[in-house]
Structure 1
Amino acid sequence: MDINIVLEELQNQNKSVYKNVFNHYYKGLVVYANNFLFDQQASEDVVQEVFISLWENAKSIEIKTSLKAYLYAMVRNKCLNYLKSIKITDDLNVIDLNSMLTLDEDLDSISDEEKTVLYNHILKIIETFPESMQQVFKLKFIENYKYEEIADEMGISVNTVKTQLKRAKIKISESLVVVLALLSIHS
């Protein structure tokens, strides 16, 4: 559907179009938010706030790219504001790197071969983690466990799980900066 028509229908408070937009983007936006927050409930809350804002401010919204890009940018900004509100800063720009790596359209600029290099590099980084961090990371991202399930399985607190995942993400992101720089030199 044409973005102008969708936007016009949203501005006219068309609940059916709004519901379709919500159903189409909600799950992906929650996954995207969770890459910033590592907290499923907070991620869902952020995405719901974005959709409330979309509904309440539809008449004044100007979308210059696509609705998808607009929604993802809103989620990213709300996540960053949320992290600031709980006193988490991103001095190393890890969050910006992560958002680039998690949005498929941003990875379109690199070849499948380069994506394979990135993936293999991530696996090598994970192998250098301390044993407990490796286990937490694998349970979360390979086994798809929830924080509470990881904590129960390993006999640690949920906060320890979150801390281990945050440290793992920072280590991966720091290492990937070098790989991405090398890939951009070769392209």
Structure 2
Amino acid sequence: MEINIVLAELQNQNKSVYKNVFNQFYKGMVLYANNFLFDQQASEDVVQEVFISLWENAKDIEIKISLKAYLYAMVRNKCLNYLKSLKVTDDFNLIDISSMLTIEEDLDLISEEEKTIVYGQILKIVETFPESMQQIFKLKFIENYKYLEIAEELGISVNTVKTQLSRAKTKINQSLVVVIALFATRL
């Protein structure tokens, strides 16, 4: 359904369209929120707040990119506000890195400047990887190669590519958890 039609229906308080939007995006938004908050219940609460806000403020909403981008930006902002209320700081944008690695949502949700910062932080961690893992990671996430393209270029199996990327993501997430835990101890 076209964004203008959906938005018009939401503004007219069409419960059926609202329910469809909810069903289409809820699970993904909760997963996205959980990558910021690391708390399932708080993530569900944040997403519910987003949908309540969407219902209550539909008449005032202007969506320029896409409904999905708008909703995910709302989730991100509410998560950051929630973390601020807990006095958690993210000076190095580590939460953004973690959320990007854990889910594969559209990168149009963040600005070009934020992308540059996020990539810089990831690359610092990636530099600690073994050479082959670095190469696979950079081909996938910097050069946007597909699994098969990476496998063909490096002369390895697709399963090896997937395994190495999984290990890389795990190592990055582990590194980020330690850093985030350090932030928490500063409170």
Percent of aligned positions with the same letter in both sequences?
67
Residue 16 of structure 1 corresponds to: 16
3-state DSSP of counterpart to 1:58? helix
Kept after mapping to 1: 8 A contact 2:22/2:51:
yes
Is the 1:94–1:170 contact (alpha carbons within 8 Å) kept by the matching residues of 2? Answer: no
* 2:141 paired with 1:110: no
1:66-106 deviations in Å (ceiling 9; x for gaps): 10111000000000000010011101110122233323333
In structure 2, what is the equivalent of residue 88 of structure 1?
88
Stretches of structure 1 lacking an aligned partner (at least 5 in a row): 130-136, 138-163, 172-187
SS at 1:91 equivalent: coil
RMSD (Å) for aligned C-alpha atoms: 3.0
Shift of 1:169: 7.0
Amino acid paired to 2:178: R
| Secondary structure of the structure 2 residue equivalent to 1:57 | helix
Asked if the contact 2:98–2:176 (Cα under 8 Å) also holds between the matched residues in 1, the reply is no
Q: 1: CA distance between counterparts of 2:8 and 2:80?
A: 29
Q: CA shift at 1:165, angstroms?
A: 8.5
> What is the 5 A alignment of 1:1-187?
1-101=1-101, 102-106=103-107, 110-113=144-147, 116=162, 118-123=165-170, 125=171, 166-167=177-178
Q: Which amino acid aligns with 2:36?
A: F
How many angstroms does 1:110 deviate by?
1.7
Aligned mates of 2:15, 2:142 — CA distance in 1: 33
- Native 8 Å contact 1:46 1:79 kept in 2: yes
Which is further off, 17-26 or 89-98?
89-98
Over 3 Å counting, the alpha-carbon distance change for 1:58 and 1:46 in structure 2 is: same
Q: Distance in 2 between matches of 1:111 and 1:21?
A: 31
Deviations 1:92-128 (CA, angstroms, capped at 9, x unpaired): 11012223332333369722247856434235x37xx
- How many residues are treated as equivalent by the alignment? 135
Label 1:121 to 1:99 Cα distance change in 2 as closer, same or farther (>3 A).
Answer: closer
TM-score by length of 2: 0.63
CA distance in 1, matches of 2:142, 2:176: 27
The TM-score with structure 1 as length reference comes to: 0.63
Q: Report the AA paired with residue 166 of structure 1.
A: V
Q: Point out the more displaced range, 64-73 or 98-107.
A: 98-107
SS at match of 2:87: coil
1:29 to partner: Cα distance? 0.5
Partner of 2:128 in structure 1? none
CA distance in 1, matches of 2:39, 2:65: 29
